[in-house]
Chain A
Amino acid sequence: MTKLDDMRRPDRGNMLAVLLFITAGPLLWGLHLTIVYMAHTAVCALAASPGAATAILAIVTVALAVLLMLILLDQQRFARLLKVSQEIAERGSYDRIAFFLTLLSLAGILWSGLAVTILSSCAPGR
């Protein structure tokens, strides 16, 4: 419960750190999409090498999926890394929000991975 007295103390929360903490998952998902889409397009358009494309996509996907899992496994360490203060109001809520966002992002990345396993690289839309 926040007390009136708290209002006289400065805010310990660092806006950027908090934002980064809760949106790390989606940001990494976005990074993944950017890399795989651009790599696939560029490799297919310029080098026309399906093998290389698949390899790059697989490596990127696995790497980012592992990173997300690590974040999920030790959320607190990740929070400390970003210097998210323990003293902000309802700190647990941020943990929970970050957790589920990371989870959803992981699902998104794995689905992209599924596409890589099923579809051949550089093949036309049909």
Chain B
Amino acid sequence: MNEVRELPNEAPRPANELEELERAWKLPTGFRLITAVNNQVIGILYIGIAFLFFLLAGVLGVIMRTQLAVPENDLVSQDLFNQIFTVHGTTMMFLFAVPAMEALGVLLLPQMLAARDLPFPRLSAFAIWAYIVGGLVFFSTIFYDLAPKGGWFMYPPLTLKEYSPGDNADFWLLGIGFIEISAIAGAIEIIVGVLRTRPPGMSLTRMPIFAWAMLIFAAMIMIAFPAVILATMLLEIERSFGWPFFTADKGGDPLLWQHLFWFFGHPEVYIIFLPAAGLVSMIVPAMARRPLVGYRLIVVALIGTGFFSFGLWVHHMFTTGIPALSLGFFSAASMAVAIPSGIQVFSWIATIASSKERFRITTPSLFVLGFLFIFTVGGVTGVMVALVPLDFQVHDTYFVVAHFHYVLIGGMVFPLFATFYYWIPMVSRKMLSERLGRWVFWLMFIGFNVTFFPMHITGLIGMPRRVWTYPDGLGWNTLNMVSTVGSYILAAGVALFVIDLFLRFRPTMENNAGDPWRAGTLEWLPTGAYSARSIPFVTSREPLWDNPNLGTEVEEGRHFLPGAPTGERETIVTSPVDAKPQYIIRMPGPGWAHLVAAVFMAAAFLLLTVKLVTIALICAVISIAACIVWGWQLDHGPGKGEVDIGAGIKLPTYMAGPRSHAWWAMAVLILVASSLYIAYVFSYLYLWVVSPEVWAPHGSPDLPGFGWPLGTALLLIAGTGSMVLVRRMLPAPGGREPAIPPMLALAAGCLLAAFLAEVWGHWMTGLRPAQNSYGAMVYMASVLNFQVVFACVVLAGFAIARYLTGKLDAERRVGYENAALLYYYAAGQMLLGLVLVHGFPRLAG
């Protein structure tokens, strides 16, 4: 500790530097606070709303338990109960668990990385507002008998128009589909944030475990959510237009939904669990006052879980009659995913054992210990249900209800409460009460186990899930009564926590309660609205332990970027592996555009649900217009030149191309689009395996002649060529090149023409989408193409407008780069689609 450290900047700092910094990051006041984008403000809003949904869905849970307390109860009617359990599950999964974890990412990540904010502050604000509006409207359907009642898993045919008339199911499909989009926006933010806005010196292997967890969390969202987005699209299209994806009579298959849904649904569990495990891996070392034992193995566990969790979706379908050996593969993967959990549990035990003196028993550590116990039980029953024959018995019974509540409440809610108690000092003037905290913990812990442990037995002795009542005399009465009593105890614990929040939680950005735990990571640095005064140079995993003076140094502005040299909001972008400073990102401040975009997009989706198509379209147009306004303000251009961040490092304040954060965001978005398309390719092949008899040329009109796909491909190649040429022709700043707008328009036109040719070609053969599953799949490819084509056309138009206003040249070219990147992807996707749609039936037929 005594070695003399070289620091990037000299103290004392110039007098006006801090003022400048404060001015740049100042919060809007009054009602304009809703335009704020600072991660600490919107992060708390985000987590607050997510917690509100937890409480609301929890109340539904208690109502269900009350109904089931005694046999043949009629407190809640059958129809209402079906709505309640659907909304309970949907809300807990989509409106609470995932958003809560994203919220923690928004709130904690920039602090842990000592970044001034996430790289796209308005994108997070957009995602949050969209989620708030969409989520609240969705939840409120329970109050006017409009709530979906097909279960949170929404299996067709039950959710098809025939068996679910009315708008109830559409609220699920459009509402949740929309919230998934918001989750993906958050995931893009988190990936780019973790990889590119770390403090200098924080290589991948020095990241806090939570950052690893969030990175994998976001990556999993990118792969998993598109599957369910595709599924909801297919189901909504079948409900509205009768394209038979899931109707067996016309070559569809109800199981296709289950495959797509669980390809999302199972990873979803780990999407929820991984960040929570990451949080635990942060709290345990703090309480032990020792570094985490087995940091690298935990990383192994996180990555391993991320992968293996995609290999066990069929374990929700063990009883659907799939061949035994296929079940065996997924059972094997279910076993494989258990090992990473084992690694983490042992790592936490080892860290506890390694404590300096003894492990500190505080409210956060109580919740962590409770989590360890509950999660172990949940993991063990998880292995049991992974044994295929045993699952034949316990599948869809209360045993499974018990199992996944152990995994989810144990694996996510307990760590979340630990998180509340642990990190609230970072954002509040006061800590929460340790004394009340212990009451909260014991009530929740006891209540939880009393509620859910008996359910294992209830299920084994025959009680199925999702039943609104049960007859007397089957031996289920006592166990159900016990569970109900337990749920009241659990609810009392949560209520006590809410009281504690009201009494002591006072959000703040400047005067927080400090670092009561003496933890080692950067979020405990002294902060203001601008986060840390200067961005520390990091050389280890627990910088605050290794350099106790770090807080003072940072506050004195002796580390990187101590001021606001461009006079605006900014943070350092570093390289993804070793975190070497690359450039300064200039970030937008408060604004209305993203807010308008979010609210109107939510309105568009919800109005579609109730079939007010015209108004919905108007809202969508307003939303897109707001997005364009928002995008227009982003590309500042290189006008501010280079700035000195300290240690003699001068960084540019503008970046385009593969190093820029915008390029990365687009790349991530393209990954999302491609996993959506891969899910489509899977669906296409899957339906072919199920019903080859409806495929062309035997069961459907012959494919259009070779000329059609060939012509389409040529259009795509021509468009791509035009796009590539534009890059070469971009003039130097101030120059002109009149050919650019027509070239961009040509590219967009080629794409549009290719899309139309594909649809027209099939239409001419007499193939119709509602005819059979083959027709539906063929036209579905064009629906997916339309999404990217539409985006490309908008972006190309945007680039033309940038050029015409003199904001696009060889240096200032982010607008072009994004359009081009997406364009190449769109062309690729459509070419692949041509091969599949025109080639496959010829090959297989």
Contact = CB atoms under 8 A, between A and B. Distances in A.
Given A10-B580, A13-B576, A37-B326, A108 B689 contact: no
Interface in B388-403: 388, 392
A29 B307 contact: yes
Contact of A11 (B7, B332, B580): B580
B205 A124 contact: no
A72 interface: no
Given A13-B577, A115-B328, A125 B537 contact: no
A17 B648 CA distance: 30
B580 A97 contact: no
B303 A22 contact: yes
A44 B322 CA distance: 11
A45 interface: yes
Contacts of A10: 575, 580
Nearest to B682: A38
Interface stretch (B77-85, B292-300, B627-635): B292-300
B182 to A, nearest CB: 26
Given A7-B649, A8-B648, A13-B577, A108 B308 contact: yes
Given A7-B537, A26-B303, A101-B304, A122 B201 contact: no
Contact of A101 (B303, B323, B335): B303
B299 A97 contact: yes
B332 A114 contact: yes
B8 interface: yes
B333 A115 contact: no
Nearest to B576: A15
A78 interface: no
A56 to B, nearest CB: 12
A123 B324 CA distance: 6
Nearest to A33: B311
B204 interface: yes
Contacts of A42: 689
Given A93-B296, A115-B325, A12 B578 contact: yes
Given A18-B204, A45-B689, A93-B296, A40 B325 contact: yes
A68 interface: no
A104 interface: yes
B562 to A, nearest CB: 15
B666 interface: no
Contacts of A112: 328-329, 332-333
Contacts of B7: 4
Contacts of A123: 323-325
A13 B307 contact: no
A11 B537 contact: no
Contact of B6 (A4, A105, A125): A4
A57 B324 CA distance: 14
B539 A1 contact: yes
A48 to B, nearest CB: 11
Given A111-B332, A119-B324, A88 B308 contact: no
Interface string A79-118: 0000000001110011011001100110110011011101
Interface residues of A, number: 60
Contacts of A9: 580
B340 A36 contact: no
Interface in B3-27: 6-8
B324 A96 contact: no
A76 interface: no
Q: How large is the interface on B (under 10, 10 to 19, 20 to 34, 35 or more residues)?
A: 35 or more
A13 B575 contact: yes
Contacts of B336: 29, 104, 107-108, 111
Contact of A44 (B206, B296, B323): B323
B588 interface: no
A125 B689 contact: no
Interface in B280-324: 296-297, 299-300, 303-304, 306-308, 310-311, 318-324
Contacts of A30: 307, 310-311
A112 B328 CA distance: 7
A120 interface: yes
Contacts of B308: 26, 29, 104, 108
A107 B339 contact: yes
B327 interface: yes
Interface in B373-396: 388, 392
A11 B583 CA distance: 13
B581 A7 contact: yes
Best-buried of A45, A57, A97 by chain B (most CB within 10 Å): A97
Contact of B203 (A89, A121, A126): A89
A122 B537 CA distance: 59
B649 A8 contact: yes
A94 B685 CA distance: 37
Contacts of A120: 324-325
Chain B interface SS verdict (over half): helix
Interface string A40-71: 11101110000001000100000000000000
A15 B325 contact: no
A74 interface: no
Contacts of B203: 2, 13, 88-90
Nearest to A14: B577
Nearest to A18: B577
B573 to A, nearest CB: 12
A23 interface: yes
B209 to A, nearest CB: 13
B578 A11 contact: yes
A113 to B, nearest CB: 9
A53 to B, nearest CB: 8
Contacts of B339: 104, 107
A41 B200 contact: no
B715 to A, nearest CB: 31
A42 to B, nearest CB: 6
A124 B392 CA distance: 13
B692 interface: yes
A125 B685 CA distance: 22
A90 B327 CA distance: 41
A26 B296 contact: no
B674 to A, nearest CB: 15
Nearest to A98: B300
Best-buried of B6, B304, B319, B321 by chain A (most CB within 10 Å): B304
B296 A46 contact: no
A46 B575 contact: no
A6 B580 contact: yes
A46 B689 contact: yes
Interface string B675-702: 0000000000100011010000000000
B325 A122 contact: yes
B720 interface: no
Contacts of B756: none
Contacts of B580: 6-7, 9-11
B577 A15 contact: yes
Nearest to B321: A125
B331 interface: yes
A36 B647 contact: no
Contact of A124 (B201, B300, B323): B323
Nearest to A22: B303
B200 A96 contact: no
9 contacts: A7-B201, A8-B649, A15-B577, A26-B306, A37-B326, A37-B329, A57-B325, A93-B296, A94-B205
Given A1-B539, A40-B325, A112-B329, 11 more contacts: A7-B580, A18-B204, A33-B311, A38-B685, A90-B203, A97-B300, A100-B297, A101-B303, A111-B333, A115-B325, A115-B331
6 cross-chain pairs, A with B, having the tightest CB-CB distances, nearest first: A13-B577, A115-B328, A11-B575, A26-B307, A111-B332, A108-B336
Interface of B: 6-8, 195, 200-201, 203-206, 296-297, 299-300, 303-304, 306-308, 310-311, 318-333, 335-336, 339-340, 388, 392, 537, 539, 575-581, 647-649, 685, 689-690, 692
Interface of A: 1-4, 6-15, 18, 22-23, 26-27, 29-30, 33, 36-38, 40-42, 44-46, 53, 57, 88-90, 93-94, 96-97, 100-101, 104-105, 107-108, 111-112, 114-116, 118-126
